[in-house]
Chain A
Amino acid sequence: MWGNNWNWSEALTQFQMRLGAPEGAARLVAYGLGAVVLVTIALTLVLFLIWVTRKVVSRIQDRLGPNRLGPYGLFQSVADALKLLTKEDITPRNADVISYNLAPVFDVFGVFLTLTVVAWAPGLIGADLNIGVPFLVALGAIGIMSALMAGWSSSNKYALLSGFRVVAQLLSYEIPMVLSMFLPVLLIGSMKLGTISASQSLYLFGFNLGLGWTVFIMPAAALIYFISALAEAEQTPFDLLEAESELIAGFHIEYSGMKFAMFFLAQFMNSFFLGAIAVMLFFGGYQGPFVDQLPILGAFYLLIKAMLVYLVTQWIKGTFPRLRVDQMMQFAWKVLVPLVLALVLWQMIVMKIFSSSWMQDVSILIGNLVVGGVVLNVISNYLRRQKVVTKRAFEPKSLIGVMEPVVSSGD
């Protein structure tokens, strides 16, 4: 059944036709079913992700996090969703009603469409578009438009300013992101996410180890993608347009109730999906041991890997200092873009000069190590400088004499 060209939609259609349904209708039903299933999975995932985020961040901050509702507080996000559902839906007097209401819808819409090209397992991909990678980038355009719509229509100075800043940030980091996504495309020679995932296999004596991940030969590309994806998902350290711990919240400041929940949903899904894309492009997608024997294992591998990437983003969220806006813009244009362009050039030249594939791989790896070293060097220089600046201006003294300050556990 899981043959070479097995495909979920064909299988579902064939199944219905065997039951006597006409082809067109069968296909429509199959696609509709697939779409509903995908969206349901995504929504369930978000409820889980919110819980994961809160647990991880509270662990980092030495708190317990949600622990009342259900085992380990698992149902907390369900309760939150229900609460948001019963909140008043306020439309500011001066708001432009049409764009104000459409903006959250489009934001969610753009992120949901990412599901189209997520390759869960061989043959289990919404639609393996020939233009998979640019399609993913194009979806970002919808997010940009919805940020502008929300910022403008709220008719609030903060919202508008923040809308502008978001757009400037998204535009700046989109270039290094696309270029780093271009590198595995160039290596594999396909823009289909299904093909890219499939080609990251590694056969040893005819057994697929599933460890031919592109990250092993292009770690710098993966690193640059990851940094840009953090900025695209508006995650720390690039969340200065929102800065929820110190400023009022971003371009969706005037939103309440379910409309606010939609922006929230979109942001969570986006940061998870950007991780999933990183997994598909660099970390082997659904590849792993025994995936040839039991393909459904692929979905499991993909989710685990994407979740690990997500945990790393939460770890960064809990520990990294936030960047300033000028530092952020300059990091994109003066560090990431030139370096990733250099990588593109290097890879193109190397792929033409050497005909043997292992020579190509080794040279690409060397180029990547150099570039990755430069990026890490820039980051560590920045952090070292930052540490000096943010060193405590005063040592905390306890007001009550007997309470000695605890020896700092490194904050």
Chain B
Amino acid sequence: MLQNYLFVLILSTVALIIPVAAIVLGHFLGPRRPDPIKTATYESGVETIGDTWVQFRAQYYLIGLIFLIFDVEVIFLFPIALAFERLSLLSTLAVVTFVLILLLGLLVEWRKGALEWE
């Protein structure tokens, strides 16, 4: 079984080498004539004012949080799917409750307006 992951490791190495090689090759093949205008930050016709930072809405953070919670719950479902055939009725009920709680969470978000994106 560990051999499978040896293959993943080798494929990872190849998958890292290829983009690095392409970028390095492009770096040497292409011309290199930097000038202050060219390396300036792209902006619609005017110089960038201030730094890049803009006020982000907390909404992004909220989406991240909701995702995290769903992600954790979904990952628990996967091993249960493999054993689903031999689960007892009580266990099945437990899984169904688990998913129902997940749905309840979604409902709470909905009611509280966390899913609105203005």
Contacts and interface: CB of A to CB of B under 8 A. Distances in A.
A113 B15 contact: yes
A218 interface: no
Interface residues of A, number: 85
A189 to B, nearest CB: 6
A171 to B, nearest CB: 4
- The number of chain B residues touching the other chain, given as a range, is 35 or more
Interface string A114-151: 01100000000011111101100000000000000000
Interface in B14-42: 14-16, 18-20, 22-23, 25-27, 29-34, 36, 38-42
Interface in A71-89: 84-89
A42 to B, nearest CB: 9
Contacts of B54: 157, 160-161
A330 B15 CA distance: 36
Contacts of B87: 352
B96 A93 contact: no
A182 B18 contact: no
A326 to B, nearest CB: 4
Contacts of A85: 22, 25-26, 29-30
A178 B75 CA distance: 9
A156 B51 CA distance: 8
Residue of A39, A43, A190, A348 with most partner-chain B CB within 10 A: A348
Contact of A348 (B32, B96, B116): B96
B108 interface: no
A177 to B, nearest CB: 10
Given A89-B26, A89-B27, A126 B39 contact: no
A28 B4 CA distance: 12
Given A341-B99, A348-B95, A92 B30 contact: no
A191 B7 CA distance: 18
Contact of B115 (A178, A333, A352): A333
Contacts of B78: 131, 133-134, 182, 185, 191
B118 to A, nearest CB: 7
A258 B26 contact: yes
A182 B77 contact: yes
Contact of B106 (A112, A133, A333): A333
B22 A258 contact: yes
Q: Which of A31, A104, A131, A179 has the most CB of B within 10 A?
A: A31
B102 A90 contact: no
B30 A89 contact: yes
Nearest to B34: A90
Contacts of A186: 81, 84
Contacts of B70: 175, 337
Nearest to B69: A175
A257 B26 contact: yes
Contacts of B26: 84-87, 89, 257-259, 261
Contacts of A36: 14
A5 to B, nearest CB: 14
Contacts of B25: 85, 258
A391 interface: no
A36 to B, nearest CB: 6
B10 interface: yes
Given A88-B31, A112-B15, A186-B84, A174 B67 contact: yes
B22 A39 contact: no
A318 interface: no
20 contacts: A28-B10, A43-B18, A85-B26, A87-B26, A89-B30, A89-B32, A91-B39, A113-B8, A116-B8, A158-B42, A168-B64, A182-B77, A189-B81, A257-B30, A258-B27, A325-B117, A329-B63, A329-B115, A337-B70, A341-B102
